[in-house]
Amino acid sequence: MDTDIATPKGIRFLAVPFGLLFVAGGLLALLTVTGAIPGEMPRTWYAQVFSITASVTFALAGIGFVFFGFGMKKTAVTIGALALLFFVIAFNWIAFGPGERNFTRTITFNGTVSRATAVSEFEGRAVFGGFALLLDLMVVGGLVKGIRSKT
């Protein structure tokens, strides 16, 4: 089935409203976390750091989509890289940041949750730490490749 949405112009056209939705969600979360608008704020400063990092990730990703939609690909790539960096920072914060963490393992079968159990803080941090280190290596690899391609 051939549709206009699958064309580069269709994708660029959809990137703008989709990006604006992400920007709005990220800014709404950021304003709530910082107390600028009423809402439930994280109870500890380290939960606030994570919440701010996640909010900025969404806002930057949305801004990148908007720039892509307007055909500004280099700017979109730069902002997308910043969004990725904040995403990686969030994983690192969960794995290695201070404060207590509560993790849950959920088992699903045929789309229904059959069991949810608590997981130790060590196990949760180990899983997030493993993924954080892989993401760190990907970011460093991307930076090295980017620097080498410019020289």
At residue 126, the pLDDT reads 96
Low-confidence ranges of the chain (pLDDT < 70): 1-7, 151
Q: What is the pLDDT of residues 53-88, one digit of tens each?
A: 999 999 999 999 999 999 898 899 899 989 999 999
Q: What is the pTM of this model?
A: 0.78
Task: Copy the structure tokens of residue 20.
Answer: 């604006």
Task: Copy the structure tokens of residue 118.
Answer: 């608590």
Cβ atoms 64, 80 nearer than 8 A: yes
Domain residues for 117? 4-150
- Residue ranges in the chain assigned as alpha helix (H): 8-33, 45-69, 73-96, 121-150
For 60, counting Cβ atoms within 10 Å of its Cβ (0-12 exposed, 13-18 middle, 19+ buried), the class is: buried
Structurally, how many domains does the chain consist of?
1
> Distance between CA 101 and CA 14 in Å, rounded?
38
> Distance between CA 74 and CA 54 in Å, rounded?
23
Task: Provide CB contacts within 8 A for 17, sequence distance 6+.
Answer: none
